[in-house]
A and B are shown apart, each in its own frame.
Chain A
Amino acid sequence: MSVKRVVTYPARVLKGLAGPVGSIGARERQLATDLVDTMYDSPGCIGLAAPQLGVASRAFCLDVSVMKKPPPGNHGLVVLFDPELVLAEGSEIKREGCMSVPDYTCDVRRATSVVVRGTTPDDQVRVIEAEGFEARAFQHELDHLDGLLVLDRVASARTDVFRRKRYAERGRHLK
């Protein structure tokens, strides 16, 4: 296990533009391991981007299959380097939390279906069509690579930002 500390706002790395990764080597595979191990070790966490570990690189992992009610048709564990949003359709407001803005959740408008393309840790190009909550997770992680947090996406500071009411029990979502 290589669980890292998750950095929180106002850490500057969360607000910058993350740099391209390019070719995949040992260092990139270690980053993938750090992301995945830290995600699975963090209660209720279904996605993590490299800037959240203090690394200004375009990489993230996500896994919505660990949710209590896994969204149907999800892709399980996904790790992508240099991901791009190819297509985004639909629009829906739902509540999101972020490990880098702890103790609060925000109502955020996101596309309901997306196509994302990126490179896997095995250096393969992967194109994923995601819907619903998984599409939301992709957009949240993609935002991290552009220095955007949920606070940049809310439409009201009073009605769209909420103190988190309950936490997932430690370990509940672990695989």
Chain B
Amino acid sequence: MPDLAVTAVGADRPGIVATVTRVLHDRGGNLEDSAMTILGGHFAIVLLVETEDDPAALRAALEEATTDLGLTISVSPASGIRSRVEPTHLLSVYGADRPGIVAGVTGAIAELGANITDLETQVIGTEDPVYAMVIEVVAADEPQLADRLSEVCAGLGVDHTLRTIEAETY
């Protein structure tokens, strides 16, 4: 069966996941992979569902079921590569919160053809907030990536550590 990519975002409240996944299940869909979390005060769902459903019909059904929840929903075809890419490196970046940290660091990663498999951020502290980001990367050329990241992070005034994932276990 083909996959559809579904996204749903809205102000956080109880019942969002239950309502969205109930619609998918009732229409014969099978949940493949998903990321669902609170971002600020919003709840965000991104998922792949294996289904014979028509994207427009599924979207209409989801919108009808979630009218009270006020979600912004998208449904689009997502056929293609299924294999999970294993990251080779973990990159921690942190520093005084300022605009441009993510764009600067990920720009350097993209420039070198390295691939990001996961990126998570958190602002820690309220008085002098520190922006913390951990990125999983698939990188073929570690020395080049290490050098470029040192330059970019120095320019942004943030601290960073690049570790191989194997090195995570003693």
B-contacting residues of A (Cβ < 8 Å)?
9-10, 15, 88-91, 101-104, 109-111, 148, 151-161, 163
Q: Among A91, A109, A157, which residue has its beta carbon within 8 angstroms of that of B133?
A: A157
Find the B residue at minimum CB distance from A113.
B170
Closest CB-CB distance, A106 to chain B, in whole Å?
Answer: 9
Q: B96 interface residue, CB < 8 Å from A?
A: yes
Q: Which residue of B lies closest to A139 (CB)?
A: B170
The interface on chain B, measured as residues whose beta carbon lies within 8 A of the other chain's beta carbons, has a size of 22
Q: B145-170 vs A: 1/0 string, CB under 8 Å?
A: 00000000000000101000000111
CA distance A49 to B125 in the complex (A): 22
Closest chain B residue to A148, Cβ basis: B161
- Most chain-B CB neighbours within 10 Å: which of A90, A110, A154? A154
Contact partner, B170, options A111, A148, A161, Cβ 8 Å:
A111
Least CB distance, A69 to chain B, in whole angstroms: 25
Does B170 lie within 8 Å of A90, measured CB to CB? yes
Hey, which bits of chain B sit against chain A, CB under 8 A?
37, 90, 92, 94-96, 118, 120-122, 124-125, 128, 130, 132-134, 159, 161, 168-170
Our count of residue pairs bridging A and B at CB distance below 8 angstroms stands at 61
**What separation, in Å, do the CA atoms of A104 and B134 have in the docked complex?**
16
A157 partner, pick from B120, B159, B161, B168, beta carbons under 8 A: B120
Query: Is the pair B169, A151 in contact by a Cβ cutoff of 8 Å?
Result: no
| Given A111-B170, A161-B122, A161-B124, CB of A155 within 8 Å of CB of B132 | no
Are A15 and B120 in contact, CB atoms less than 8 angstroms apart? no
Do the beta carbons of B161 and A91 come within 8 Å of each other?
no
Closest to B118 in A: A156
B125 pairs with A104, CB closer than 8 A: yes
